[in-house]
Amino acid sequence: MLGVSLTKVTANHSKNAGFCFSFFCDRCEKEWISPFVPFIHGGFSAVEYEEAKQMLWAQEHRAAFESANMEAHFHFSRCSVCKNVVCNECFDIDIGNKCVDCKDK
């Protein structure tokens, strides 16, 4: 379900070399880890100033998170009843976009 923010269910594994995030199911706690995205220094081969490097890292971090969050939508959905973000195994579109815990509600 696009447009749903999954930011509350993440862990940040980003390092100086790049960016990676985990998303967790609110029901079973299954983890999905986004692909690693290398830090490319804004496309510059060398960044001499630490402040500039930190600004570029923050910018690339935000972009990598947004991309990972969008990709997580293929692995998670928000239950229409309890509003939990659950993995595909805990979600059933055939029962009205509900998680398996809310299927009878």
* The pLDDT value given to residue 103: 84
Q: How many domains does the chain have?
A: 1
Residue 18 domain-assigned (yes or no): yes
Residue span of the structural domain in which 53 resides? 7-102
pTM assigned to the model: 0.78
pLDDT, one tens digit per residue, over 71-98 is 998 999 999 899 999 999 999 877 778 9
Strand intervals (E) in the chain = 10-12, 18-19, 21-24, 31-33, 37-38, 76-78, 85-87, 91-92, 98-99
